[in-house]
Structure 1
């Protein structure tokens, strides 16, 4: 007498055949495991971004756009010197430093510092040099900076206040890293500095 019950082995084999017919699972080990721990169907992982290569390419573009600054800063160190170990033991001083960490600027490498200083001098000479009339409105300042080859986003310029404090600007030099900015009222001040810990070139108003 033939049993009408299908043996478990036959069911298992049928299941494997169904899987084979519907698709093939990755055998390369690249697929992420599924909920049960088995490989899951997924597209190939994207290659990782080479940020160091991007930074080098950005510097090449900067040097092509500003060859005189590239020549001035050639040979400067591209890494920071080793920082000395922390020696502060005053708990109040340490607490103050912690509370005001958001105001700290990220350090620039010697070559970034050189580029920033060179750009600051270039902008100051173009805006306020001998025979020049400093921009009096945000629109004039934007036009002047863009004419010098800088990218001027909406956050770069702050207009004159009711007290007549003059124009202020802070911009990140395209492709080279440092921030350059200052005020266009007497005495005119345009200098360079690193980005702030929380990002951007404007000093944050508050911490966490």
Structure 2
């Protein structure tokens, strides 16, 4: 009754022999020629543990966001977390800009790419905020701060600007950034954090 198990074991050993023996060339240090040396087991284990910890933290943060904003979670269920790959820059022999370092000097204005899930969350939070502003437009920064805190964005920054109030905040736990002006009508932008950090652009380039 144990013959099938023995036969399976024999097959496994035979496959192992084929993989490690036939046609392989070994170097003087015992490694297979042409194959890269494996990373030290300790480093590999540490990297794996770090990745697992990061995934657990991300899952916990997403769960906390979804409990706080169930309507947003429902609207964005099933969206991908994959960030689109940016197209490679193409070279051109045509006319060059007046200042060829313009892009470099204004790199501080670049924001990180958003995944479909992050974009959906941002749009849903922007719609929430716009709906509230249709009922009540804050008259000053203090009222704007109170309104944003009541909606679940207590860390928002606000400042009086012209006929409205400028604001900026990172959607709690998961992002993305929302910024703009709380006025009538409001102006709300959804974007990733700036490459130099935060949801507000630095005041000047380099």
**Alignment partner, residue 206 of structure 1:** 204
The alignment status of 1:52 with 2:50, answered yes or no, reads no
Q: CA deviation at 1:207?
A: 2.1
1:136-189 Cα offsets, whole Å, 9 max, x none, are: 111111111111111225xx11124xxx34210000000122011211234421
Question: Are the counterparts in 2 of residues 76 and 110 from structure 1 also a CA contact under 8 Å?
Answer: yes
Structure 2 counterparts to residues 139-178 of structure 1, below 5 A: 139-153=142-156, 156-160=157-161, 164-178=162-176
Question: Which of residues 105, 108, 121 is equivalent to 1:102?
Answer: 108
Q: How many residues align?
A: 155
Q: Which residue does 1:179 correspond to in 2?
A: 177
User: Does the 8 Å contact 1:121/1:190 carry over to 2?
Assistant: no
CA–CA distance in 1 between the matches of 2:84 and 2:100? 23
The gaps in structure 1 that reach 5 residues or longer are: 1-29, 31-46
Cα drift, residue 53 of structure 1 = 2.0
**Structure 2: 5+ residue stretches without partners:** 1-41, 43-48
User: What is the deviation of 1:64?
Assistant: 1.1
Partner-residue secondary structure (3-state), 2:164: coil
Alignment partner, residue 26 of structure 1: none
More helix by share: 2
Higher Cα Rg, which structure: 1
Relative to the length of structure 2, the TM-score reads: 0.68
Q: Which runs of 4+ in 1 moved over 6 A?
A: none
CA deviation map 1:44-77 (0-9, x unaligned): xxx8582232112101110111111111001111
With normalisation by structure 1, the TM-score equals 0.67
SS in 1 for 2:179: strand
Distance 2:152 2:125 in 1: 11
